[in-house]
Structure 1
Amino acid sequence: MEDENYLFTVGHSNVDMETFLELIRSHGVELIVDVRSSPYSKYVPHFNREKLKANLEDEGVGYEFLGDKIGGKPRDEKYYEDGKVVYSLIEGELSYREGISQLMELLKTRKTSLMCSEENPFNCHRHNLISQTLLRRGVKILHIRGDGKLEKARMNDVQTTLI
């Protein structure tokens, strides 16, 4: 399969840094776009923004943070109903559209992967929000799973096609 025209997504989960780097290396990722609303973790501190960026740069992989614009856990309560995020409310915001535009520009520069913390894309806004927006714009998306296998994202899927 020719995957050079795809946007990748990956969740760092609770793996060590070397395992994560191998996942992205194996698919030729050149740029990580961090879409976590808060790019810090007390459970896996090696994925804290500054440390992650330094490790990626040591590997020759770029790092961009867009979680402030296209993150899945906004601070404002207006985006929640019954304690759950309503993605359609986020998608309608100017800052989200600006973040998507920035991402579209980044996609033109290098082989790119969105990154969030959740390994399973179906439990994450990178599939349920961002990928859905991008698929409507004609972007092809592959989710890198924890075992290194790829799944092709489709509109409104709760499952994708393993490839």
Structure 2
Amino acid sequence: MIKVKYNVFTIGHSTHSIEKFIDLLHQHKITAVCDVRSIPYSQYTPQFNREPLQQELARRKITYVYLGKELGARSENPHCYRDGQVQFDQLAKEPLFLKGLNRLRKGMQRYRIALLCAEKDPLMCHRTILVCRNLRTKDIEIHHILEDGTLEHHAEAEKRLMALHKLEPDMFYSEQRCLEDAYDKQAQKIAYIDQEQKACK
């Protein structure tokens, strides 16, 4: 039996107040936040703009690391797009993305990390459908911090993902294939679309 070596968490800031957000981090003993937003700014939730968030986390003794360039849902490489939409399978092969995953793995050795993005439901966010899909290994335990503070194990999130797309394994359709197809369908549903690039097609 393989012993789990590391834990990693994900969290969506949603429309939380900064106080509520910090409470959620403290509740789960998070010591570092890795921001995987491609654009870490929002006019609707300015409390989570990169600079004020970094300052607030530092005040609470929580390390902030920006990994949106490495692990964000957008890409500067045109080969990662098809008809204007990011293709997660291509993005996951990019050297920069792989570098980001390695930074995460190294960080887990020192910190209790939460991957930060905006969406409250982990299934609606690339932090799960792109990053966690490619981060999951037998020695990494992944948990999603939900809006009410409860934890959803990644295996349970994957069951929800298959149910969301009404996919069920059977004798001809393995559970692993079913799961990968569910990931692919959700990626197509949520992946970033560059409207200008799409209009040029």
**TM-score where L is the length of structure 1:** 0.89
State the Cα RMSD in Å: 2.1
Which aligned pairs between 1:18-33 and structure 2 lie closer than 5 A? 18-33=19-34
2:142 corresponds to which letter in structure 1?
Answer: I
Aligned to 1:122: 123
**TM-score where L is the length of structure 2:** 0.73
Measured in 2, the distance between the counterparts of 1:109 and 1:18 equals 25
Structure 2 stretches of 5 or more lacking a match?
Answer: 162-201
State the identity %: 32
Range with greater deviation from structure 2 (149-158 or 117-126): 149-158
Matched pairs, number: 158
Range with greater deviation from structure 2 (146-155 or 11-20): 146-155
Q: CA deviation at 1:110?
A: 1.1
2:80 corresponds to which letter in structure 1?
Answer: Y
Which aligned pairs between 1:35-114 and structure 2 lie closer than 5 A? 35-114=36-115
Q: Which runs of 4+ in 1 moved over 4 A?
A: none
**1:20-39 per-position Cα deviation (integer Å, ceiling 9, x unaligned):** 11111100000000000111
Measured in 2, the distance between the counterparts of 1:76 and 1:158 equals 32
**1:46-93 per-position Cα deviation (integer Å, ceiling 9, x unaligned):** 101110000001111000011101111224443233443211111111
Structure 1 stretches of 5 or more lacking a match?
Answer: none
Measured in 2, the distance between the counterparts of 1:59 and 1:4 equals 26
Q: CA deviation at 1:14?
A: 1.2
Aligned to 2:153: 152
1:44 corresponds to which letter in structure 2?
Answer: T
Measured in 1, the distance between the counterparts of 2:133 and 2:91 equals 13
Q: Is the 8 A contact 1:29 1:113 kept in 2?
A: yes
Q: CA deviation at 1:137?
A: 6.0
Aligned partner of residue 154 in structure 1, secondary structure: helix
Q: Is the 8 A contact 2:6 2:109 kept in 1?
A: no
Q: CA deviation at 1:116?
A: 0.5
Q: Is the 8 A contact 1:122 1:158 kept in 2?
A: no
Range with greater deviation from structure 2 (146-155 or 57-66): 146-155
Aligned to 1:140: 141
